[in-house]
Homo-oligomer: A and B are copies of this chain.
Amino acid sequence: RSTLRLGMIPADGIGKEVLPAAQRVLEALGSAIPRVEFVPLLAGWEEFNKNGKALPEATIETLKIECDAAMFGSVSSPSHKVPGYSSPIVALRKHLDLYANIRPVKSVQGVDGKPVDMVIVRENTECLYIKKEEIHDNADGSKVAYATRQITSYASSRIGRMAYELALRRQAEREAGASSSVHHSQPKVTIVHKSNVLSVTDGLFRETVRAVSQEDKYKSVKTEEQLVDSMVYRMFREPEIFDVSVAPNLYGDIISDGAAALVGSLGVVPSVNAGDNFVMGEPVHGSAPDIEGKGIANPIASIRSAALLLSHLGYTDAAAKIDTAVDNVLREGKYRTPDLHGKSTTEEVTNAILKAL
């Protein structure tokens, strides 16, 4: 294609500070990628308070009809239940059927933190995120609430396939000389579940992913399992043993924040929400109300999310260029935002990355 139309949804808080940084980096790539047209779009808690909709119809429609891909910033959540409000990021994933949330967590050689080079492949459409909840009053005035957790073989199978494909792709990249702070001798997928308690739902997830693992083309990939509680423990004790991990939605949410702690900051961890026809980059961090407006948010998670998005669209050279620039800036250590114990601003870090490109 000659133009890439990219929906830009900064949403709330520092999302509005880091998405422009990613845009500057994309703009600096020049002829390495097609011309990018940035399409600014609204969503979020602030938008809800202004116009009554956390995710305006126009945003969904524009993404579906006019855009090739998108970048999402971060959302603030009200601290109490607000009628009519519902998380726009959860809704977007559903509307665009972005069924996989891919979250690579990789330490940079020579930078503090443990050696880790893993990817979390999080199912993005079901589990407790279907938000089927109800509440009832008992006769004695007490209350009982229920939420439904849904696991289907359909969703488990496609996320499983995504995980095994990724394991093969990572192995191919390693064989082609991609650098890593960890030595993975064989591609591996770790299935994360809690089937010792949820034998039916997590049992279905586990069996369905196991069935995928049996397919001929994946026979070089090793399959392991971790109960989600044990996963969090092992991730901190021996993060280097993990390659690709695949998990139902909520476990994936939790373990990816845990993995982020291993590399020093949520501020450096990117993700893409990927479907078969659309992809949306999204830093893993939240809207960080404590530092909002101070100009010191770490732009790296967003910039890496842009790289991940490009790589997903097939522009792997351009993606590698961004990643190398980011790694170099991290390794040099001169420009770091406060989450990485530095004193630089969002702009200074972005400038350094632009220079290193």
Task: Point out residues on A near B: beta carbons under 8 Å.
Answer: 77, 79-81, 87, 90, 128-129, 131, 133-135, 142-154, 194-201, 203-204, 207, 225, 227-230, 232-233, 236-237, 250, 253-258, 260-262, 266, 286
Contacts and interface: CB of A to CB of B under 8 A. Distances in A.
B150 A198 contact: no
24 contacts: A77-B195, A79-B225, A81-B199, A129-B197, A131-B197, A131-B198, A133-B199, A133-B200, A135-B200, A135-B204, A143-B153, A144-B150, A144-B152, A146-B148, A146-B150, A149-B149, A229-B253, A229-B256, A230-B286, A232-B255, A232-B261, A233-B266, A237-B261, A254-B254
Nearest to A152: B144
Contact of A194 (B148, B199, B250): B250
Nearest to A204: B145
A149 B152 contact: no
B233 A87 contact: no
Contacts of A253: 194, 229
Most buried by B among A90, A146, A256: A146
Given A80-B207, A237-B261, 19 more contacts: A81-B195, A81-B199, A81-B200, A129-B197, A133-B198, A134-B200, A135-B204, A142-B152, A142-B153, A144-B150, A144-B151, A145-B204, A146-B151, A149-B149, A229-B254, A233-B266, A236-B236, A236-B262, A254-B254
Contacts of A257: 229-230, 232-233
B204 A233 contact: no
A250 B201 CA distance: 15
Contacts of A256: 229
A77 to B, nearest CB: 4
B195 A87 contact: no
Contact of A203 (B81, B129, B236, B266): B81
B128 A149 contact: yes
A174 to B, nearest CB: 27
A319 to B, nearest CB: 26
Contacts of A145: 150-152, 200-201, 203-204
Contacts of A236: 236, 258, 261-262
Given A194-B250, A258-B232, A261-B233, A143 B148 contact: no
Give 3 nearest A-B pairs by CB, closest first: A133-B200, A77-B196, A236-B261
A84 to B, nearest CB: 11
Contacts of A254: 228-229, 232, 254
A77 B229 CA distance: 14
A129 B229 CA distance: 14
A51 to B, nearest CB: 20
Contacts of A237: 261
Contacts of A149: 128, 146-149
